[in-house]
Homo-oligomer: A and B are copies of this chain.
Amino acid sequence: MNILIVDDDKLVGISLKTIIESEPALQVADIGCCGEDAVRLYSEHKPDILLMDIRMDGMTGLDAGEQILRIHPEAKILYLTTFADDEYIVRALKIGAKGYILKQDFESIIPALKAVHAGQSVFGEDIVAKIPSLLSRGQQKNLDDYGITGKEEDIIRGIADGLSNREIAGALYLSEGTIRNSVSVIMDKLGLKRRTQIAIFWYKNAMS
């Protein structure tokens, strides 16, 4: 299995090479040290996996990754980072990275490479721990449990889209008064006092 390493810090690059090549099945194709290197060397070597730092001067690992994945959508990119950073994680996931691990966890680099090669995605503990809190906005509750009807759910969606009663009425071909009444009923059923709380309820609990 061929690995391409890209890291700002050449010493880190060499250390990684040593670690990786301690495993006979793995070879390091090349070592780059900036985003531009990553793009160029990836096309040149077509490695099985690109092991790349996120933070680099000039083109960041994410920008380089995005560019590489545009050209080679099958590329397997595993990001290395010195600390867990939410913003990066989300962007890394979005561009389609295969993983995100901390450099400190050097003993987990080889298993991570193998898992990625086998088609899995790998993430360090700290990183995964952050995802649920972003996802979970509370247990997914079912509006039906509160006796919310279909029409009422439409209205809730309207409120959660930030519409006024008049706008919701227009969208659903009902009168504004009907919406007003219905909003009262909805708040009653959900135990809320203000329309804003309906939107909040939606984003925290339902939102399907």
Contacts and interface: CB of A to CB of B under 8 A. Distances in A.
B86 A140 contact: yes
A105 B124 contact: no
Interface of A: 86-87, 90, 93-94, 96, 98-99, 101, 105, 107-108, 111-112, 114-115, 117-125, 127-129, 131-132, 134-137, 140, 159-162, 164, 192-200, 203-204
Nearest to A93: B132
Most buried by B among A96, A101, A160, A162: A162
Interface of A is mostly: helix
Contact of A131 (B86, B135, B203): B135
Number of this chain's copies in the assembly equals 2
A159 B200 CA distance: 10
A120 B131 contact: no
A144 to B, nearest CB: 15
Contact of A160 (B121, B159, B200): B200
Contacts of A121: 122-125, 127-128
Given A93-B131, A122-B115, A196 B140 contact: no
The 9 closest A-B pairs by CB, nearest first: A108-B118, A162-B197, A111-B114, A111-B115, A203-B203, A121-B128, A115-B115, A94-B132, A93-B132
16 contacts: A86-B140, A99-B120, A105-B118, A111-B115, A115-B115, A115-B122, A120-B124, A121-B123, A121-B127, A121-B128, A131-B135, A162-B194, A162-B196, A164-B194, A203-B203, A203-B204
